[in-house]
C-alpha cells in the first residue's frame, strides 16, 4: 500500500512536469469575442514586449494568435478579452483551414511607433482614433504644427491626423463660432505658430505642415486620416501655388482660377475636384458626397459595406477590412465620404454605400509609403454635433466601426510578404 501511494505520487509529479500541450492563445474576433477593441491592445502589448504574434486574416473575423504565456493570459483576462487555449494539434488544424481557404496567417513582428496629430488643448474624446488608442491601451505620442515642422518624422511608423482643416480656414467655424473663446484661442495659437516659422498666415502654416506629411508618406510612412483632415489635406497638398485662403469672415475671395492651378500630382487620393469657397457656404470642395455642413445638400445616412479581398493576394487591403460585420451604419463628419468621380485610379476602395456615387473608406500607396482615409468623425456617434458628450467605448467594446480604426493601427506591424503574381 505504501509503495502504491509513493508510485501514485511519483506519477502525479510526472504529469505536472510534462511540457504543456497548450502552445498558443487564440483571440477570436467573431461574435464570440467579448471585447474586440481591447484584443488589439493585447496584441500590440505582446509586440511591444517582443512576443511574436500572428494575424489570421479572414479566420473568425480576423483573429489573433499569440504564445500561451502567463502574462498574456492575465492581461487578456483583466481586459475582458475572450481567448481560447489551443494546443499544437489544433493550431495545425487552423493552419490547414487557412491554407485551404481565402485566409492567410500574417506574422506581426514589431509594435509600430505611433503619433497622433492633435491640438495640445484637445480633449482625448474629441478624436475617435485617440479615443480608440486610450481604450485599447495602445501608447502614442502627440504631435502638433511645431513638432511636424521641427521633428524628423521618420522616427514614427504611423501618424494619424486629427480632424484638422489643412486649408487653414479652421473648418469655417468662424461662420458660427467666431466669437467663441475656444475658437479665438485656436486662431491666435495657430497664427502665433505661423509667425514663429516665418509664415504669413494660418493657411501658409497648414500648407507647410501638409507638405511635411506628404514627405513622411513618400519616404515610407503610414498615414491614417478621418473626417475633415482627409479632404483638406488633399486640397492643401495640391494647392502648393494656389491661394485657398478665402473667403474668411471679411469676404475676401479665393483665387478664381484655383481649380485650374491645382497640382493633383502632389495629392494621394483625388484629382480634378472643384474647390468651393463661396462666402457663407460651409464646404471646402465637392470631394465629400454628403456635404454635411451644407443643409440644402446634406445627404441622409445609410450603411456602408466592406469589400472582401483575397487574403493571400491582397493582404494589406484584407487587413484593413477585418471585422465581424460587413455592413456598418454610416456616421457624419466634416467630410463623410468621397465621390468616386474624383478618386485617382490607383485608390483602392475598401468600403462603399451600395448604389451611391460616393465611397466611405479608401487606401493607396504614395512613394514608399501608404495612406488610408476613413470618412466620418465617430463610428458610434452618427450626428456628432459640436458640444456632444464624449463617446464611452466601454459601452461599445464590439464596435465594428472602431475596429476599422484599430486595423490601421496594427497593420504596419505586419511582416511584408513578396507579392504573388
Out of 99-108, 178-187, 232-241, 266-275, least confident range? 178-187
8-state DSSP, 242: S
Per-residue pLDDT at 256: 73
Q: Residue 117: enclosing H or E segment and its boundaries?
A: strand 114-117
Q: Quick check: helix, strand or coil at residue 257?
A: coil
What is the pLDDT averaged over residues 79-93?
Answer: 96
Q: Quick check: helix, strand or coil at residue 11?
A: helix
On the question of a common fold for 2-108 and 114-413, the answer reads: no
Per-residue pLDDT at 162: 80
Cα separations in angstroms, 224 against 10, 123, 169, 373, 384: 59, 20, 21, 6, 20
141 contacts 117 by C-beta, under 8 angstroms: no
What is the pLDDT averaged over residues 32-57?
Answer: 97
pLDDT by residue (tens digit) across 276-335?
A: 765 556 678 899 999 877 766 678 899 999 999 999 999 999 999 999 999 999 999 889
What confidence category does residue 19 fall into, taking pLDDT thresholds of 50, 70 and 90? very low
Does the structure show a pLDDT above 80 at 52? yes
What confidence category does residue 249 fall into, taking pLDDT thresholds of 50, 70 and 90? very low
What confidence category does residue 377 fall into, taking pLDDT thresholds of 50, 70 and 90? very high
Does the structure show a pLDDT above 50 at 13? no
From CA 37, how far away is CA 4, in angstroms rounded?
Answer: 52
Per-residue pLDDT at 417: 55
Answering whether pTM is above 0.75, one says yes
What confidence category does residue 357 fall into, taking pLDDT thresholds of 50, 70 and 90? very high
Residue with cell 480656414: 169
Residue with cell 513578396: 418
Per-residue pLDDT at 11: 34
Q: In what order do the strands lie in the sheet with 84-87?
A: 84-87, 22-27, 63-67, 53-57, 104-108
pLDDT by residue (tens digit) across 97-138?
A: 999 999 999 999 999 999 999 988 776 557 999 999 999 999
158 contacts 225 by C-beta, under 8 angstroms: no
Higher-pLDDT residue of 15, 132: 132
- Fold classification of 2-108 is Alpha-Beta Plaits (3.30.70)
Domain limits, the chain: 2-108, 114-413
Architecture of the domain made up of 114-413: 3-Layer(aba) Sandwich (3.40)
Cα separations in angstroms, 201 against 135, 246, 250, 406: 36, 12, 15, 35
Contacts of 182 (CB under 8 A, 6+ apart): none
Cell output for 262? 491645382
Q: What backbone torsions phi and psi does residue 328 show, to the nearest 5 degrees?
A: -130, 140
What is the pLDDT averaged over residues 146-174?
Answer: 86
Per-residue pLDDT at 183: 75
Amino acid at each position: 500500500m505504501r509503495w502504491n501511494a509513493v508510485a501514485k505520487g511519483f506519477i502525479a509529479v510526472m504529469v505536472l512536469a510534462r511540457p504543456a500541450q497548450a502552445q498558443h492563445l487564440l483571440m477570436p474576433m467573431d461574435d464570440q469575442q467579448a471585447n474586440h477593441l481591447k484584443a488589439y491592445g493585447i496584441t500590440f502589448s505582446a509586440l511591444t514586449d517582443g512576443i511574436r504574434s500572428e494575424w489570421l486574416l479572414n479566420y473568425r473575423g480576423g483573429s489573433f494568435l499569440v504564445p500561451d504565456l502567463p502574462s498574456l493570459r492575465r492581461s487578456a483576462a483583466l481586459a475582458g478579452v475572450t481567448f481560447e487555449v489551443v494546443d499544437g494539434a489544433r493550431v495545425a488544424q487552423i493552419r490547414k483551414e487557412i491554407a485551404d481557404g481565402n485566409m492567410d496567417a500574417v506574422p506581426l513582428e514589431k509594435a509600430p511607433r505611433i503619433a497622433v496629430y492633435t491640438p495640445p488643448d484637445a480633449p482625448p474624446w474629441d478624436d475617435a482614433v485617440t479615443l480608440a488608442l486610450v481604450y485599447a491601451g495602445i501608447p502614442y505620442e502627440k504631435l502638433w504644427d511645431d513638432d511636424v515642422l521641427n521633428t524628423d518624422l521618420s522616427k514614427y511608423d504611423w501618424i494619424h491626423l486629427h480632424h484638422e482643416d489643412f486649408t487653414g480656414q479652421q473648418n469655417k467655424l468662424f461662420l458660427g463660432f467666431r466669437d467663441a473663446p475656444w475658437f479665438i484661442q485656436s486662431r491666435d495659437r495657430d497664427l502665433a505658430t505661423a509667425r514663429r516659422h516665418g509664415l504669413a498666415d494660418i493657411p501658409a502654416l497648414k500648407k507647410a505642415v501638409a507638405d511635411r506629411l506628404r514627405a513622411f508618406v513618400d519616404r515610407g510612412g503610414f498615414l491614417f486620416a478621418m473626417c475633415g483632415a482627409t479632404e483638406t489635406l488633399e486640397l492643401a497638398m495640391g494647392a502648393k501655388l494656389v491661394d485657398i485662403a478665402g473667403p474668411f469672415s471679411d469676404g475676401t475671395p479665393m483665387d478664381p482660377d484655383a481649380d485650374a492651378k491645382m497640382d493633383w500630382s502632389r495629392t494621394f487620393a483625388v484629382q480634378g475636384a472643384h474647390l468651393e469657397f463661396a462666402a457663407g457656404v460651409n464646404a471646402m470642395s465637392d470631394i465629400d458626397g454628403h456635404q454635411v455642413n451644407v443643409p440644402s445638400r446634406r445627404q441622409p445616412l445609410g450603411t456602408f459595406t466592406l469589400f472582401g479581398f483575397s487574403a493571400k493576394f491582397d493582404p494589406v487591403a484584407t487587413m484593413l477590412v477585418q471585422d465581424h460585420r460587413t455592413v456598418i451604419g454610416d456616421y457624419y463628419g466634416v467630410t463623410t465620404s468621397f465621390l468616386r468621380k474624383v478618386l485617382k485610379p490607383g485608390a483602392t476602395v475598401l468600403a462603399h454605400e451600395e448604389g451611391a456615387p460616393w465611397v466611405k473608406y479608401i487606401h493607396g500607396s504614395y512613394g514608399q509609403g501608404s495612406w488610408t482615409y476613413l470618412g466620418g468623425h465617430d463610428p458610434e456617434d452618427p450626428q456628432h454635433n459640436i458640444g456632444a458628450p464624449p463617446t464611452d467605448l466601454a459601452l461599445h467594446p464590439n464596435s465594428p466601426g472602431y475596429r476599422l480604426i484599430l486595423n490601421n493601427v496594427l497593420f504596419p506591424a505586419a511582416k511584408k510578404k513578396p507579392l504573388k503574381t
